A = this chain, B = another copy of it.
Amino acid sequence: MANEMLIGVDLGGTHMRSALVDVEGQIILRRKTLSENSSGARRATERLIEECRALTESAARLGGRVAAVGLGVAGKIDRENGRVLFSPNLPALDGHPLAFELRDSLEVPVAMENDANAFGIGESWMGAGRGLDNWIGVTLGTGVGGCLVLGGRLWQGDKLGFVGEIGHMIVHPDGPRCACGQNGCLEAHASASALLEGVESAASRGTLAAGPLFDLWRARGLTAEKIFHCASQGDAVAQALFQRMGWALGLAFANLFRVLGIRHAVIGGGVSAGWDQFIIPLEKSMSQYSSMLDMEMCEVRRSALGDDAALLGSARLAMGEARGDRGTD
């Protein structure tokens, strides 16, 4: 009997990353290509099918057989019906039965989840969530995503198509404007967008002193990574933005830990690379807002899988689908 293998796909706004993964969670082979979202749903779906076919052929050459495919997609997902409901970063896919079409073409089971949920499944399986029954996951990127693992399983709530939307928790009702239209969301304090907005705002207030951060801003060359670099070099404006990020995350965790009666969180996503700039303010804020919590017991962990979390989570999701046990993820 051929060796059972899984395909995990992390489908983002720009790139489509995919991997062949064994049932032990080891990545055998990776691929990366453009999502081709701008060419419409048909082209994006074809691109996805081509990637999966290529991985299926590689599996065969290695004496394996692809048992199922898992997709992690940024946006609101109807998991039951394999449909993308709403995806700000992949608008061409809105309403598209992506998982259903993929299943038809590849003739293997296909499961689809929100990318932050895929992150949660991945970290639970092979990363920082291993062995933890209950934890909150947060992904810091352009926006802020989130998930909940409760009782060792990804929490699905009332299956409303959203869950773990930590990014739009209000942490300060008079706080900065968020892309969602509200004021004071966690995302407006703790995302790449919040960092960029924060520099813009400092510039328009005239508090951006001459130096590398100012030069980057003037040259329109700012990225979250560069703001982190400036903070590490001692830029006060950049440091204050990471402090604000830590403050907001600490408040959100203190609130949720108390309500849920739990004590672990895992932070991932590209902007978690700024860890060294925000973890101390985060812990300070969590401690400040911690009445009834024993801070000694609380632990905020950094993602152990980095970029591979959603990829591995999608593969784990595929494994559950292949085995007919959706509850295991």
Residues of A within 8 A of B (CB): 76, 133-134, 146, 148, 150, 155-160, 162-166, 168-174, 178, 180-182, 185, 251, 254-256, 258-263, 288-289, 291-294, 297
Contact = CB atoms under 8 A, between A and B. Distances in A.
B261 A163 contact: yes
Contact of A162 (B159, B174, B256, B258): B258
A259 B181 contact: no
Contacts of A181: 291
Contact of A297 (B150, B160, B178): B160
A146 B260 CA distance: 10
Chain A interface mostly helix, strand, loop or mixed? Answer: loop
Q: Kindly list the 5 A-B residue pairs having the minimum CB-CB distance in the complex, ordered from nearest.
A: A157-B261, A163-B261, A180-B291, A165-B258, A169-B255
B292 A157 contact: no
A289 B170 contact: yes
Contacts of A291: 168, 178, 180-182, 185
Contacts of A182: 288-289, 291
B262 A292 contact: no
A76 B297 CA distance: 16
A297 B162 CA distance: 13
Nearest to A156: B261
Contact of A174 (B166, B174, B260, B293): B174
A86 to B, nearest CB: 9
Nearest to A258: B165
A133 B160 CA distance: 13
Contacts of A292: 76, 162, 165, 168, 180
Contacts of A256: 259
